């Protein structure tokens, strides 16, 4: 496995498991320098085959938004971020544009652990499902958004330059909640095409 600068890795050093970040890649010798997350932090040289990449947890976009704001803007601690009473306060949710779903999501113990892993180790954002809006049972029955003019038309589900045909649930409901009944998951249509 090839590593690049900034990758989060795990390595056993002096009989203990440590996490760290790659700070340098030495191509000629197939080695990497890792800043081990220990006190004091230490840079140590390892062969690439001695190190494994940390698998980042996946979280929904609304959770990633909360993590980003709390760590970068508010400088909260992890324990403050896991306090469900904070998310029950409607004035807090409105003032900071926090997605209200975070309260229910964090109420599950497994999600609290996921949140903590994301906080400590980093995370990837889950891809939101995408949908076509098929309003007419025809090859040309899909809603298309002209990105230049903002106008909606019907055409194929192909996405030529300047047009958008795939939408998230939020985008569909913002357009008109009644269109949600006409959603078709992108995967279903693409699987049929194969």
Q: Are 144 and 136 in contact (CB under 8 A)?
A: no
Kindly tell me the burial class for residue 55, based on how many C-beta atoms sit within 10 Å of its own C-beta (0-12, 13-18, 19 or more). Answer: exposed
E strand or H helix at 35, and its extent? strand 31-36
Q: List the single range of 28-37, 59-68, 79-88, 109-118 with lowest mean pLDDT.
A: 79-88
Q: How far apart, in Å, are the Cα atoms of 93 and each of 55, 65, 87, 98, 159?
A: 31, 13, 6, 5, 36
146-170 CB burial, b ≥16 within 10 A, e <16? eeeeeeeeeeebeeeeeeebbbeee
Model-level pTM? 0.54
* pLDDT tens digits, one per residue of 141-174: 999 999 999 999 999 999 888 899 999 998 999 9
* Spatial separation of the C-alpha atoms in residues 183 and 155, rounded to whole Å: 15
Q: What's the mean pLDDT in 188-192?
A: 68
* pLDDT tens digits, one per residue of 55-73: 889 999 889 888 887 777 7
CATH topology of domain 8-53: SH3 type barrels. (2.30.30)
Domain ranges of the chain: 8-53, 57-125, 131-193
E strand or H helix at 153, and its extent? strand 152-155
* Spatial separation of the C-alpha atoms in residues 53 and 128, rounded to whole Å: 25
Q: List the single range of 36-40, 101-105, 147-151 with lowest mean pLDDT.
A: 36-40
Q: What's the mean pLDDT in 6-26?
A: 86
Identify the residue with better confidence: 105 or 54. 105
The tokens for 173 are 């409901």
């Amino acid at each position: 496995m090839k590593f690049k600068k900034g990758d989060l890795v795990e390595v056993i050093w002096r009989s203990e498991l440590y996490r760290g970040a790659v700070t340098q890649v030495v191509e000629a010798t197939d080695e990497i320098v890792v800043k081990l997350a220990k006190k004091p932090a230490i840079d140590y040289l390892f062969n690439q085959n001695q190190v494994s990449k940390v698998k980042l947890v996946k979280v929904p976009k609304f959770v990633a938004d909360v993590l980003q704001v709390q760590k970068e803007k508010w400088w909260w601690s992890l324990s403050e971020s896991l306090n469900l009473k904070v998310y029950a306060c409607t004035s807090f949710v409105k003032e900071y544009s926090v997605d209200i779903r975070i309260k229910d999501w964090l109420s599950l113990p497994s999600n609290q652990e996921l949140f903590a892993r994301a906080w400590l180790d980093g995370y990837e954002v889950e891809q939101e499902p995408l949908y076509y809006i098929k309003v007419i049972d025809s090859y040309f029955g899909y809603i298309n958004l002209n990105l230049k003019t903002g106008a909606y038309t019907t055409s194929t589900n192909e996405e030529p330059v300047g047009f958008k045909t795939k939408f998230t649930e939020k985008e569909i409901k913002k357009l008109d909640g009644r269109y949600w009944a006409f959603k078709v998951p992108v995967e279903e249509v693409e699987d049929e095409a194969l």
